[in-house]
Amino acid sequence: KYLNDLIFILPIILVLLYKINLKISFKKIILCSFFAAIISTITMSYDNVYRPDAGLYHLPFISLINDQKIIIGLSNLHFRFGHTSIFQYLSGSFNNHIFGDNGILIPHGLVFSFIILYLIKFIFKEQNNIKFFIAFLFLIFIFFRMNRYSSFGNDAPSHFYFLFLIILSLDWKKHIDEYYNFFNKISLVAVFIFFNKITMLFSLLIPVYFLINKKFLTIYKNKFFLIICFIFFSWILKNILISGCIIFPVEQSCIKNLSWFDKSETRRSNAKSGRIENEAWTKGAPNQTTKSFEEYIETYEWIVVWKKHHGKKILEKVTPFLVFTFFLFLYILIFGRRKNLDYKALIKQEKIFIYFLIILNLLGSIMWFLKFPVFRYGYGYLISFFSLAFSSLIFKFFNPDLELLKKGTKYIILIFFIGLLAKNSIRISDNLNEKYSAWPSIYSDTKNNERFDNIPFSLNNEILLYAPKQSMCYYSKLNPCSHLINFEFYPKQLNFKKVNGYKKYSFIK
């Protein structure tokens, strides 16, 4: 916790130094912090963590980060420990002497607040119609579909940052005189997104575009970019130590001669088995009983099952947003002028980059559909493709008055914002007398956040690992914990030893 205290205080010091150097108004910092705090508090209060994944591996992994050194072969205890998110490290760093264990809940609320405030500021300052319209569609989608704290999990932060990266990169022309700083910024954000969710790997192509476009032959002189590369390879090393794979569960990236790599293809901790199970689940395999997971995903018969279940749910989730967009189109059709002024005003490089982003998100959407078609895995690609393509078409054939649009969007954003606060306020009111604490429960799924001691499994008078007393581990000081231990893994199957003070788990051959 003392280290986490330092991590918490250091950025505050840096912000104050930044303010002094750039003469930023302290009033603006306080005002921004105030609104972020209000949005975060209302969003989080009396809500739940993302279930069931939070209890299965999100919270258990965060408790490991705070209480243990890195564990070699950790994915052998729970296969999902192999593809955890860097956001869990950020969450873990908020467990300090100010907030205690509940601090791990704060980063999700903050990133939600920041993306809303960032987009609102961008919308009202931007003078380019297309960029303004894209940011506005992003914000409306967040109000519609990305507004519940209990739905954030590991997925939402990666999509929040992906939308941020799109807007940031669209603004590249303003940073042409400080290209190094701009390139460093988008590279850092892109790497952070990839570390959040490997399915968002297409985000890495955005800095690559600028690298190629500017023929960045002097990249080796860019010290900050070298730091980013160091962070990238450090993360890869962490992945190898935990799972034996560079990117879990991509079996082609695994180093199979490592002693802690699970070579059996029947256990879920094996990369291939984990990949097949995850892909089959996203394609609706639990809704059919005739074929094994591997047989099910080998052909395109899964599409018939998928569209009746996941496909139907996705359509239900996006329909309100599509209906809103349709009425927005009618508004532009009525008040827009059939002139191509704003689109022609874009320089050739800006148009090419927008086309690049459209293709990138189209490819991301296709990959999402073919490999992991669950809405929460790919809506960053889907909404970005739709918003970019729709905005380009609108402003290629129409040129709505920017001031008229901004005047209308002010009222729309205000209505949605009030609706968001009202929705969360109703939830708070409903739970005010039922829940013991305003913090979302991290120790169990009980309303009073009751703690349950995990059950120890010992080997040679030393605790090997823990199993949950209830169905899931949640956040506990008794770790490492795996809910799979009761019915799939047994202590006698595991080889446990300590190497220079580090725990190592592997399967007995």
pLDDT digits (tens, 9 = 90+) for 327-384: 988 888 777 665 555 555 566 778 889 999 999 999 999 999 999 999 999 999 999 9
Q: What is the per-residue pLDDT across 427-454, written as a single tens digit (0 to 9) for each?
A: 998 888 777 789 999 999 888 888 888 8
Structure tokens at 182: 């701009």
According to the model, what pLDDT value does residue 215 have?
56
Task: Using the predicted structure, report yes or no on whether residue 124 has a pLDDT greater than 80.
Answer: yes
Q: 13-27, 72-86, 321-335: which range is least confident on average?
A: 13-27
- Position 104 pLDDT exceeds 60: yes
For residue 20, the model assigns a pLDDT of 62
Share of the chain above pLDDT 90, in %: 51
- Choose between 130 and 460: higher pLDDT: 130
Q: Is the pLDDT of residue 21 over 70?
A: no
Is-cis flag, bond preceding 249, omega within 30? yes
Give the pTM.
Answer: 0.93
Mean pLDDT, the chain, rounded, equals 87
Residue whose pair of structure tokens reads 């490991």 in the numeric block: 64
CB neighbourhood size of 20 (10 A): 10
* Cβ neighbours for 92, distance < 8 A, ≥ 6 positions apart: 4, 62, 65, 66, 104
Measured on CA atoms in the order 296, 301, 303, 304, is the torsion positive or negative?
negative
User: Is it the case that residue 324 has pLDDT exceeding 90?
Assistant: yes
Phi, psi at 238, each rounded to 5°: -60, -45
Question: For the chain, what's the residue count?
Answer: 509
Mean pLDDT of 123-143: 88
Torsion angles phi and psi, residue 126, rounded to 5: -75, 135
Task: For residue 440, give the DSSP letter.
Answer: P
